[in-house]
Amino acid sequence: MLLVVESVTAQDPQYSQFYAAPLYLNPAFAGATGQNRIGINYRNQWPAIDANFNTVSAFYDTYIEDKNSGVGVLLTRDREGIFGLQSMSLALQYSYDLRIVEGLSFRPGVQIGIYNRSINFNRLVFGDQIDPATGSLINGASAENLNTGESRFFPDLSFGGLLYSKRAWLGFAGHHLTQPNQSLIGEESRLPRKLSAHAGFKFYFEPGAMGEGFYSRPRERSIAPALQYRHQGEFDQMDVGFILRSNL
């Protein structure tokens, strides 16, 4: 087994309920509600073991009506495994609402971000730190030189588009278009582009009623199936889900 050499690839952090992380999914969703919006998404995969994945993102967006524009900000932190490989990003988003015909619009969006990647090399153990007779750890640092490149900043550029009506939406997004170098040890390791397509359709049920008398108003009841297809490097994935809505 020690003679077997395999290459390992990975992809951007992902949320199974992708439709609940709109700004992370596509910058064209910035301002899409026409109101102020704030949200937090959290994922903790395999929490019982050291090799877990912990991801959190927070976002805020708003719509500027007289400019037909949406703006948003997205903060994401992803931490992987026992060695604390961490990626943090801060991104600003802008979208513009173009009305094609009555009831059908297209929103192009752009995202400009800054990334920071870091790792705690001090948690690695090398052969010269192990006593060959007893197998115990020897006090003192290793002769391995991994002190350089422990933290790296790099810019990132992404685009997206969203075609939507009251009932349906179809979007596409391209992240990491410049494929920035993310290596922490002074080599070249390009961040692969992430390409995604996503769509959804909303089916309305008979509305309920909210309030009584003068304050009574319709209550939305709907279900919206949604799907996403993603491609990054040698990784492909299809996600399918749905949103069930009943306003209180």
Encode pLDDT of 166-213 as tens digits: 999 999 999 999 999 988 877 888 999 999 999 999 998 887 776 676
Instruction: Please give the sequence-ordered ranges of beta strands (E in DSSP) within the chain, or none if there are none.
Output: 37-45, 53-64, 69-80, 85-96, 98-101, 104-118, 151-164, 168-175, 194-201, 203-204, 208-210, 217-219, 221-232, 235-246
Q: Is residue 151 over pLDDT 60?
A: yes
β-bridge mates for residue 59, sequence order: 39, 74
Select the more confidently predicted residue: 142 or 28.
28
What phi and psi values does residue 66 have, to the nearest 5 degrees?
-70, -10
Cβ-contact 160, 173 below 8 angstroms? yes
Q: Is residue 147 over pLDDT 70?
A: no
Select the more confidently predicted residue: 52 or 114.
114
Cα separation, 86 vs 104, whole angstroms: 41
Q: Find the angle CA(106)-CA(109)-CA(115) to the nearest 5 degrees.
A: 160
What phi and psi values does residue 121 have, to the nearest 5 degrees?
-65, -20
Q: Is residue 238 over pLDDT 70?
A: yes
Cβ-contact 84, 67 below 8 angstroms? no
User: Tokens 């800054």 — which residue?
Assistant: 114
The mean pLDDT value of the chain amounts to 87
Tell me the HSE value of 174 on the side-chain side, using a 13 A CA sphere. Answer: 7
Select the more confidently predicted residue: 175 or 148.
175
For the chain, domains (ranges, CATH) are 18-191 (2.40.160)
pLDDT single digits (tens) 10-46: 788 888 899 999 999 999 999 999 999 999 999 998 8
Instruction: Give the number of other Cβ atoms within 10 Å of residue 86's Cβ.
Output: 17
Cα separation, 222 vs 247, whole angstroms: 9
Give the pLDDT band of residue 72 (cuts 50, 70, 90): very high
Q: How much is the pTM?
A: 0.83
